[in-house]
Structure 1
Amino acid sequence: MIDFTKMHGNGNDFILINEFETKKVVEENKSEFAKKYCDRKFGIGADGVLFLQPSREYDFKMRIFNSDGTEANMCGNGIRCIAKFALDQEITQKSKLAIETNSGPLNVETRENKKFWAKVNMGKPQFKRNKIPAKGEGTFLEQKIDQYSVSAVNTGVPHAVIFRKNINNLDIEKEAPKIRYNEKFPEGANVNYVKVLNENKIKVRTYERGIESETLSCGTGSVASAAISKKLDKTKGNTINVITKGGKLNIIFKNQEAYMEGPAKTVFKGKTSKQFSIVE
């Protein structure tokens, strides 16, 4: 049996496995583990699995496997969850953390006043096509794909951003794959549909690569949507409030870097059944 903790950041939910001292799932089984246990009918149910592991240079390392078994480089909502878990379990007692990810180390500041909040330095949004990645040269701003005007940026993972006057009635499961799998994005892209509410507030719906569905919230997607909004002068100022189906995030821009601030919550803890376990 394997101990797990179910957590979420604005409804973007995860199964967290603590491997800080002992490896619980062997490397070759991690992908299959995520596919089996993320299943919402036959497993625990989640958008992905977070593995908290030791790091040689930083406080600890975060790895994330999506519900389809693919490993992602980063997850904005996930990194807030793993920071909360580390503090709750006294893996660290520091309020300022440096967490290793496959996209590089990220600095996280935490605070708790009735509820847990974390502010994550998401780094500098990458607009160049070779950094997204996207085919061609220069930036990828307001490019025509299908009937949409599409912009793209990398905020830890690649994101496409599309502005619409109405995103509530959008059939995202039908429309997003046209962009997500477009040949212009050799590694695919997450797809964000954005409605500008005012000069410092946007509403976002995100279709996530690797989950292949809409999620209630996406941290890197919220940063990407805010970054593109600012780049195209659709919003003003350095703080943008992002409204997702799962809740609110604050995206702050300072010295060309983006900071994401939001909550994380523990839902429950449990153990996998021995019969269902696929680990050695």
Structure 2
Amino acid sequence: MELGFTKLQGNGNDFILIDEFEQEAIPEEMKGGFAALYCDRRFGIGADGVLFLQASDKADARMRLFQPDESEAAMCGNGIRCLAKYAYDAGYVKESCTIETGAGVVRVSAGYTDDEFTATITMPAPAFERSAIPATGNGEYKEEIRGFTVYAVNTGVPHAVVFVKEIGTVDIATAGPAIRNHPTFPEGANVNFVEVAGDGTLRIRTFERGVEDETFSCGTGATAAAAVARHLGKAGETVQVETKGGPLVIRFGEAVTMEGPAEMVFEGFIQF
């Protein structure tokens, strides 16, 4: 028996995609274990997560994401661009479509320009709230953790945003887990360290919950960082975010959108 898969990446945040649009390929109770096995970069295919593309009765398609620690994430900005590329190329969706996620139905506008696929995603509205953090009185939810001022915001999944002077000097392997596992975040959080450049560009590095390591990019993290920066007057309505894997553009208007690329890396088969 063999199972087809597609490897995709968005700004270096990479995923294994399993097409379940017409029928289930991996039983529900095995999805977490499948992700743990095949996300391994030495003994598996290697990825930051496994995307399952499914049909939806609420939208044009449904995205589910299982992470290397077997947990399921409600939302993933880079992952949804990768899934949109696959679904668009397969003819499942059109340039303008909707995708169901655990954080709600998300609108996607996607297509090719000069052979490069880009997608603009309507992101969940940033929520500046966290049950374990008292409000400061001006709409900010922040706390001092391990010497860092940490802002809490949810953009489909929980995020911690930390502004630093020089992003290259941060020991993310130590600081990331300390904040990610702090009691402030009962469900854990992705931790984003952010440097604000002179032109307002944000440089960001993310320690990602579920991967339990730094990833090359995090779309919901870029959105969270831009939202906090804008709230604090550090950024405007359009924010360029430089991730380790490349740029993303976050725009604030009637809705919050994220724009970025997605690429197919390779296709293959898993033999059982």
TM-score, normalization by structure 1 = 0.93
CA deviation digits over 1:228-256, x for unaligned, max 9? 00011112x2100000110000000002x
Alpha-carbon distance between aligned partners in 2 of 1:119 and 1:146, rounded to the nearest angstrom = 36
Alpha-carbon distance between aligned partners in 2 of 1:45 and 1:179, rounded to the nearest angstrom = 26
Alpha-carbon distance between aligned partners in 1 of 2:198 and 2:226, rounded to the nearest angstrom = 12
**1:200 corresponds to which letter in structure 2?**
G
**2:271 corresponds to which letter in structure 1?**
S
Does the 8 Å contact 2:5/2:18 carry over to 1?
Answer: yes
Does the 8 Å contact 2:133/2:141 carry over to 1?
Answer: no
CA deviation digits over 1:37-91, x for unaligned, max 9? 0000000000000000010121010000011111000000000000000011111
- Aligned to 1:105, the other structure's residue is in SS state strand
Alpha-carbon distance between aligned partners in 1 of 2:78 and 2:99, rounded to the nearest angstrom = 14
Match of 2:256 in 1: 258
Match of 1:278 in 2: none
Could you list the runs of 5+ residues in structure 1 that have no partner in the other structure?
275-280
Q: What pairs with 1:231-270 in structure 2 (closer than 5 Å)? A: 231-235=231-235, 237-255=236-254, 257-270=255-268
Q: What pairs with 1:93-172 in structure 2 (closer than 5 Å)? A: 94-114=94-114, 115-130=116-131, 134-136=132-134, 139-172=139-172
Q: CA deviation at 1:123?
A: 2.7
Does the 8 Å contact 2:130/2:141 carry over to 1?
Answer: no
- Aligned to 2:264, the other structure's residue is in SS state strand
CA deviation digits over 1:8-27, x for unaligned, max 9? 00000000000000100000
Q: What pairs with 1:147-226 in structure 2 (closer than 5 Å)? A: 147-226=147-226
How many pairs align? Answer: 268
Does the 8 Å contact 1:129/1:140 carry over to 2?
Answer: no
Does the 8 Å contact 1:191/1:206 carry over to 2?
Answer: yes
Q: What pairs with 1:24-103 in structure 2 (closer than 5 Å)? A: 24-92=25-93, 94-103=94-103
**1:262 corresponds to which letter in structure 2?**
G
Percent identity between the two aligned chains: 50
CA deviation digits over 1:168-210, x for unaligned, max 9? 1322011111110000111111100000013531100000000
Alpha-carbon distance between aligned partners in 1 of 2:148 and 2:133, rounded to the nearest angstrom = 17
Tell me how large the CA RMSD over aligned residues is: 1.2
- Aligned to 2:188, the other structure's residue is in SS state coil
Q: CA deviation at 1:137?
A: 5.1
